[in-house]
Amino acid sequence: MADGDDLAELAKRRGFFFGSVDAYGGVAGFQTYGPHGASLKDNVETAWRDRFTVREGNHEIEAPTVMPEAVFDASGHTDDFDDMLVRCGACQTPHRADHLIEDETDIAEAESMPTAEAESLIAEAEIVCPECEASLAGEPVESFNLMFETEIGPGSGQAGFLRPETAQGIFVEFPRLKQYARNSLPFGVTQIGPGYRNEISPRGGLERLREFTMAELEQFVHPEDDGPSLEPVADVTLPLYPAPAQADPDGDVRELTVADAVSEGVLTSSWIAYYLGVARRWYERVGVDVDRFRFRQHNPGELAHYASDCWDAEALIGASVDADRANPEDGYWVEIAGFAYRGDYDLSKHAKHSERRYTVFREYEEPQTVERVTVDPDMSVLGPEFGGDAGAVRDALETLAERNPDAFDDEEVTVEIETDGAPADGDASDADGDSDTDAAEGGNDSDAGDDSSVETVTVDTEVANFTVEEVTESGEHVVPHVIEPSFGVDRTVLTLVDHAYREDVVDEESRTYLELDPEVAPTTAAVFPLVSNDDRLVALAGEVAQTLREHGLSVTEDESGSIGRRYRRQDEVGTPFCVTVDRDGIESEGAETVTLRERDTAAQVRLPVADVAAELTALIDADSQTTFADLTERYEVVETGTRTGVAETDTPEP
């Protein structure tokens, strides 16, 4: 394993990732990907797109990263996208209050607690500022909205925000996207791109960034959809950590197949179960150590405002390869993906705020005769009686007719409306209002102003013009529900590097290497001439490298230093294979040959130059069953030195 400092040093030295704008002192929460990191990240995105877009038959879009304020008013982000901020009174450093509480107390999840409770806990636990150690007792805990605000257009232009997630770019375009899906449910839309959150206290490396990359899938389904067939993933074993187990001192991760988790009710949504199965296989495919991995269910208090259920994929970072998942002696859990059932929250909100139709028309197999309830209030009566509230009375009558038609059986019907505090014409009495009453009863579910009140009014049933008609309908408009698998690309990259870190001894020399899967490794192969002073070797190495590039493989060339030193450099950046051109390969009778070395075992085989591209392509193909062991059966094995256990010495020099 590597501790945080070792991993950060390797990442910086070998060009994976490092703090941005160091020449100007750096800015917390921003990281630059170097050449190897950018390639690794791109390969992760490609692998995700292959599995969740292409193989699922989904659509992919690319929406703007800046959108007007109205989008986030509708989504709830302007009101609810907050973290708890406490600022040190001595050094003025801002901190996440919930993180401080979790770090300094036995409370495992403090994000959902009220700010007043957080203030009390900070005082009771005598929590101090991590920067200057001044007491934080008595400092106010406030809600801080994480969105970056901007202005669209010059001067006093339109207010806008950098998107905190890619999802809203999909939701807001649903009326058009459904047409591309031929108005047929279910269908999925994916997007990979940057998101922005003005984090209070970003953590080091890629763990908590202010600019980050997300890969999200929004699966639109009929509200009564029973879910997909679970057969493709039924036997996938999931490490599940349900909410009840988290509340139990003896609770632990349960290893259940997808089929068993659904049948036992641990997973209540077949869609969530399906995508957990798909994700579990995908994570293993790209190189996440599944023994340092789990799916944790959100507790009710930490659910997002839009979610009825959510499971996080979490990776154990900074722990040894054989760490106990239940009680790791070192390391910590990091959320790398979330799988949420968002219901119809998003589409309903955008429909209300935009006054556009966010529905899909589902045609019945045969036309159906149904009863349709309508009211057509006589406004010539409601206007003089209720004045400016007449429209609210009309809306309330229409809502009541849909919810409770029997209410119109009597001679009078009673509804509740929100007023501006002034008595309606003809009615000077104040009715007792119930603050918990559904505001939609009055035709408006927006927050009332400071002077608003709930008033009960009575209308003659004849004035309401209530009718029940039989109509023949060919289908219905439904607001789809949404299942959202949302992946953090940067944290996945961090997990892959952490889980791939290895140390051993080769030829009695310590070695550090990254056991990255060939599909995502920054470079597929490195091509070397055994020595750099032989023009024949250098020329053939160049030809081999060019041929591999023409086959779509990522290749690097290196002539500097001893061959052993070059191998170590490539091992440390995770290059899975090295191709070496030597004199034996060009001076022997027959076809020219090279040696092909595998990173993990340091084993080598000799094969014809003409075979190298095809064999490497098969080795990195995620669907191929070809392994390096297969090559040792078909080609001459080159005897090399020995490889032994974990090294205790320092990392070799570059």
DSSP string covering 468-499:
EEEEEEEEEEE--EEEEEEEEHHHHHHHHHHH
> pLDDT value at position 497?
97
Q: Indicate the residue type of 139.
A: E
Please tell me whether residue 206 adopts helix, strand or coil conformation: coil
> pLDDT value at position 200?
93
Q: What are phi and psi of 49, to 5 degrees?
A: -60, -40
Sign of CA dihedral 444, 445, 448, 454: positive
Q: Is the distance from CB of 392 to CB of 459 less than 8 angstroms?
A: no
> pLDDT value at position 543?
96
Which pTM was predicted? 0.83
Q: Half-sphere exposure of 377 toward its Cβ, with a 13 Å CA cutoff?
A: 24
Distance of CA 81 to the CA centre of its chain: 16
Q: Indicate the residue type of 539.
A: A
DSSP E strand stretches across 8-138: 17-19, 31-33, 59-60, 66-68, 82-87, 94-96
Neighbours of 183 (CB within 10 A): 13
> pLDDT value at position 588?
77
What is the C-alpha to C-alpha distance for residues 198 and 208, in angstroms, rounded to an integer?
A: 10
> pLDDT value at position 424?
36
Phi-psi region of 624 (alpha: psi -120 to 50; beta: other; left: phi over 0): beta
Q: Is the distance from CB of 202 to CB of 208 less than 8 angstroms?
A: yes
Query: What is the per-residue DSSP string for 521-580?
Result: -S-SEEEEES-TT-HHHHHHHHHHHHHHHHTT--EEE--SS-HHHHHHHHHHTT--EEEE
Sign of CA dihedral 638, 641, 646, 651: negative
Ranges of residues in the chain with a pLDDT under 70 are: 1-3, 305, 326, 419-452, 641-642, 645-654
**Structure tokens that stand for 335 in this block:** 């959320």
Q: Half-sphere exposure of 209 toward its Cβ, with a 13 Å CA cutoff?
A: 25
What is the C-alpha to C-alpha distance for residues 268 and 307, in angstroms, rounded to an integer?
A: 14
What is the C-alpha to C-alpha distance for residues 153 and 66, in angstroms, rounded to an integer?
A: 12
